[in-house]
Every structure is written in C-alpha cells, then in structure tokens.
Amino acid sequence: MILDCAIIGGGPAGLTAGLYTTRGGLENVTMFEKGMPGGQITSSSEIENYPGVTGEITGMDLMMPWPEQCQKFGLKHAMVEVLRVSKEGNLFTIHKGDGTTEQAHSVIIGTGSSPRRAGFKGENEFFGRGVSTCATCDGFFYKGKEVAVIGGGDTALEEALYLAKLCSKVYLVHRRDSFRSAPNTVERIKKTENIELVLNSVPDEVYGDAMGVTGLKVKNNNGEIRDIAVPGVFTFVGNDVNNQTLIQEDGTFLCEMNASGEVIVDISMKTSVPGLFATGDMRIAAPKQVVSAAGDGAVAALQAISYVDELLND
C-alpha cells in the first residue's frame, strides 16, 4: 500500500501534521517516530508560553494528549527510525532502520533538532556520568548538591532556575556578560539567591574519577582558571538540526538547504521538491517554539492534502 502521506518525526510539528492530514481526509497516513512521540519539549521542566495553557506544567504534561488526539482520526504510528527519504518519479521511498521500505505520495518531515556538545575537554568522556543536557532527566541525582550550567540562552537559564529549586547551588557559566534569553527569565535568574553568575567564562575541562564528575575548570577572558568542585555539569549551548534523513546515497541533500543545514521552505512549508514539506525546528528561520512547530505542521498538512488530491485526481 502506498501511503498518502509519510510524516517523519513525532514532535509538535509531526503530531500536528498528523492531526490535520488525517482529520482533513487523507486516508493512509503514518507517522514514523523513533521513540515516544512528543519531541524535545518532553525534556523541559516547565512550559509557560503555549497559548491557553496556564499553571505550572512540564513539557511532558503538555505533549501527553497529542498522540491520542491524532490516533482518533486514524493516524498510524510506526516506532522506527527513518534512515533516508528518497524520491523517484512521483513516489517517495522511506528507508527504515529495520531494513524495510515504504512508499508515499507526499512527505512531511519534522525531525527537529538535538542538543549540541560544547566541545570542552572531558565533555564526551563524562557524558552520562556527570555531564548532561537534560535537567528534568538528571537533575534529581544532584538534589541538595552543587551543579554547573553552561550557556546563556533560554534553555540554559530556564533549566538553571529548575535546578536551583533542587540543588543547593547553581553556577551559571556563560561566555559573555549579557544573555540571549528572554529579559524576564534573566530577571528571575538575578533574583535567585542560590544561582551564582560566572560570566565572561568558558568551560575549559571537566574532570573526575571512575565514579563520575568531581569538578569543572572554567577560563575567563583574562585567561584565569577557576576550579569549581561540582558533581554535575549541565550544558545547554544550542541545537543542531536533524537533517540526516535527507542525505542521499551520493551525499547530496534531497532538497535545497542553507549553509547551516536547515531546510529551505516557502511560507507554505514547501521545499524545492514537490510533495516534500519541512516543518518545525529544522526549517529556515524557525522561531524554535512549540507553537510555531505546531503551526508549521498544520500549514504543511493542508498543503499535502491539496498536493495529493491534485496528484491522484488530475
């Protein structure tokens, strides 16, 4: 059976595309998601800017009902990693991690982005043994202890606030003296007594022993090294776009990309390849918000419905 639409990725973009394609009349739609649906927001300790959702809720709380809502309208979920999407003639082929393939008339891709490594000595060696990119996952291990947070964006500051509630002290290490995070978040950071700002400083080395991390050395703009004895280091230094599924056998991308590896789309989420739509964090100029990823998913779905209708009925 040829799918009307294959959705790659089950974050806010993919799930919304799933809701709109199925509810909008496409019969055979499968969402390929390698893990549990929900996307990267499920690792967030708090979300306070999704419209209409008030009160303290986690990213997991927000996303929990989304898959069920889609399944009600007939969306199928295949829990499998997609290795590659290719196109021959009018048909797309989805190459799956289990070695099998599926074919589709249209594809909506929303594989999002993943946390970037900061690149300091010891980061890879101690990753998962004291170095983490997820405060809600690993913060509890440091209850009552001191930790360091690296970064100056929204994620670093919000997760530092979360960790400050669990930990005795949070050292917030940032390479400049101003933050790119929202101003009200910066204000909350400055008002939190157990957060110490370590500015104009970059991590130089994380060190430890067989049990895990025991400390972090940071270097300031004058080249001075400060030793911070902490068992946990959380890095939030941005994200890389997950564009691997668009890489073809000859190493080129299936559609046009920009120099940062983001998919070039128009305002309808159309890529340079007819029938292929890109959504959410992986597209150019993405605001990198749950609400905009969901919006992209809806726009792409409406376009995919028209595309498939024209393809099969003209």
What does 11 interact with, of ligand FAD, ligand NAP, none (CB < 5 to 8 A by kind)?
ligand FAD
Contacts of residue 131, Cβ cutoff 8 Å, sequence gap at least 6: 122, 123, 206, 213, 233, 234, 235
| Contact assessment for residue 43 and residue 155, using Cβ atoms and an 8 Å cutoff | no
From the candidates 61, 134, 154, 204, which is the catalytic residue? Answer: 134
* Count of residues near ligand FAD by CB under 6 A: 34
Residue type, 3: L
Cβ distance to ligand FAD smaller for residue 208 or 241: 241
CA 307/CA 4 separation, integer angstroms:
10
Q: Is 134 a catalytic residue?
A: yes
Closest separation between CB of residue 314 and ligand FAD, Å? 31
Binding partner of 180, given ligand FAD, ligand NAP, none, CB within 5-8 angstroms per partner class = ligand NAP
CB of 310 to ligand NAP, least distance (A): 35
**CA-to-CA distance for 67 and 69, rounded, in angstroms?**
5
- CB of 32 closer than 8 Å to CB of 96: yes
**Partner whose binding site includes residue 77, from ligand FAD, ligand NAP, none (CB under 5 to 8 Å by kind):** none
Q: Interface residues for ligand FAD in 179-218 (CB under 6 A)?
A: none
Q: Widest CA span of the chain, in angstroms? A: 69
Beta carbon of residue 281, minimum distance to ligand NAP (angstroms, whole number): 8
Q: Considering the complex, what minimum distance in angstroms separates the CB of residue 133 from ligand FAD?
A: 8
DSSP state of 276: E
By CB under 6 A, what part of segment 22-81 binds ligand FAD? 32-35, 39-41, 43-44, 47, 49, 81
Residue among 228, 284, 235 nearest 256 (CA)? 284
137: annotated active-site residue: yes
Q: Quick check: is 255 catalytic?
A: no
CB 258 within 8 A of CB 264: yes
Which of 111, 185, 243, 303 lies at the binding interface for ligand FAD (CB under 6 A)? 111
Smallest separation, CB 235 to ligand NAP (Å) = 8
The nearest distance, CB 221 to ligand NAP, in angstroms, is 12
Residue 9 interacts with which of ligand NAP, ligand FAD, none, CB < 5 to 8 Å by class = ligand FAD
Q: For residue 49, what are the contacts with CB-CB under 8 A and spacing of at least 6?
A: 289, 291
CB 85 within 8 A of CB 105: no
- Cβ proximity to ligand FAD: between 185 and 208 the closer is 185
Q: Would you tell me how many other CB atoms lie within 10 Å of the CB of residue 185?
A: 18
Catalytic residue among 4, 138, 281, 296: 138
What residues make contact with ligand NAP under the rule CB under 6 A? Answer: 49, 118-119, 150-156, 158, 175-176, 180, 202, 236-239, 288-289
Residue selected from 4, 10, 19, 237 as contacting ligand FAD according to rule CB under 6 A: 10
Long-range contacts of 301-304 (CB under 8 A, 24+ apart): 301/5, 301/16, 301/17, 301/18, 301/19, 301/20, 301/21, 301/24, 301/108, 302/20, 302/24, 303/268, 303/269, 303/270, 303/277, 304/5, 304/17, 304/21, 304/26, 304/106, 304/108, 304/275, 304/277
271 near 186, Cβ under 8 Å?
no
Binding site for ligand FAD (CB under 6 A): 8-14, 32-35, 39-41, 43-44, 47, 49, 81-82, 110-113, 155, 242, 245, 280-281, 288-291, 293
Q: Which residues are catalytic?
A: 134, 137-138
